[in-house]
Structure 1
Amino acid sequence: MAAAIEASLLVRAMEEDDLDRVMVIEEASYEFCWTRRIFADCLRVGYTCLVLAQDEEVYGYGVLMLGPQEAHVLNVCIAESLRGQGWARHLMHELTDVSIRSGCRELFLEVRPSNPIALNLYTSLGFHEIGMRPGYYKTQSGREDAIVMAMSLEGIAPHR
């Protein structure tokens, strides 16, 4: 992707019109992916749904469920063409900032043990392992556990 396009990428609220483009990334990224209906339901119930976009093109997305004192990152994904360039970190900062501004004290997520790139990202952001969810993810060969990670938001200022 040209540097000029990367410079014009921004994070904005996901809209129903983005779902076709979100699904292209989701289906290319995960063997057992979310359905369009799951994303539509997340929008409908008011979860924080963000996209990394330039004009009408979507290059990544994140979905966050806010609770009274905690938040849960449900899905974060970047298009393959932009991976390894810091955009997942940027999107995670945005989701963290929403959590902080909403008064959350802790942020949770699940990650596959077979995804060391995501594990390294989350650890570098301040997440730490707090448990496992046995058989959480579906795989071709059966099921894979999920590592449950958490990050305290106490005393952390928003990135922006």
Structure 2
Amino acid sequence: MNSLSIFTHTGLELFLREITATDIPQIMTLERSAHTHPWRQSSFEDCLKGRQKCWLAESKNLLVGYVVVTHGGGDAELLNISVAPQFQRKGIGQCLLAHAVNCVKGKADMLFLEVRVSNRKAIELYSKEGFFEVGQRKNYYPTVNGHEDALLMAMQLDPI
């Protein structure tokens, strides 16, 4: 199994490794704590069977985040990225995003993502890391009171 150790800009040591089926219950706990409308467990299970790259980040043996990215046909898509609420704003999301970019470099020209228009923290991170707005999807995400738009963002990937 692939794994690596990296440090966030705040000095927090992270261990990144590929997600396995035994990680899914713990991932679902984090997913539910971070999102009002979490992914279904079957979505994570399907990702482990496909061409998606699924990585988790641990610090001091605690799951602190994960990222799921895929590629095909010259493009890549960031499917899911989450950081446990108590560990947000410590550079973990930035590290996971950088790792996702590295996973698809050389396999795609562009990396796309969708993000809730209300998720200002994520939009700020993506913009800082080189993503730019390419459009919106109306009523894409469910909310407690209906739906909200998704902001479509993209990043040009440099060849390896």
TM-score normalised over the length of structure 2: 0.88
- Counterpart among 124, 135, 140 of residue 120 in structure 1: 124
The gaps in structure 2 that reach 5 residues or longer are 1-10
User: Within the alignment, does 1:22 sit opposite 2:35 as a pair?
Assistant: no
Structure 1 residue identity aligned to 2:153: M
- Counterpart among 11, 14, 17 of residue 16 in structure 2: 11
Q: Return structure 1 stretches of 4+ with deviation > 2 angstroms.
A: 54-57
- Looking at structure 2, the residues matched to 96 and 65 of structure 1 have their Cα atoms a distance apart, in angstroms, of 10
Deviations 1:100-153 (A, max 9, x none): 04x211000001110100000000000000011111100011000100000001
CA RMSD of aligned residues (A): 1.6
- Counterpart among 18, 27, 49 of residue 44 in structure 1: 49
TM-score normalised over the length of structure 1: 0.88
- Looking at structure 1, the residues matched to 111 and 74 of structure 2 have their Cα atoms a distance apart, in angstroms, of 9
Percent same amino acid among aligned pairs? 32
Q: 2:141 is matched with which residue?
A: 137
- Looking at structure 1, the residues matched to 158 and 130 of structure 2 have their Cα atoms a distance apart, in angstroms, of 12
- Looking at structure 2, the residues matched to 6 and 18 of structure 1 have their Cα atoms a distance apart, in angstroms, of 22
The gaps in structure 1 that reach 5 residues or longer are none
Question: What is the aligned length?
Answer: 150
- Larger helix fraction of residues: 1
Deviations 1:10-65 (A, max 9, x none): 11111111101100110011111101111001111131111002475321001111
- Larger strand fraction of residues: 2
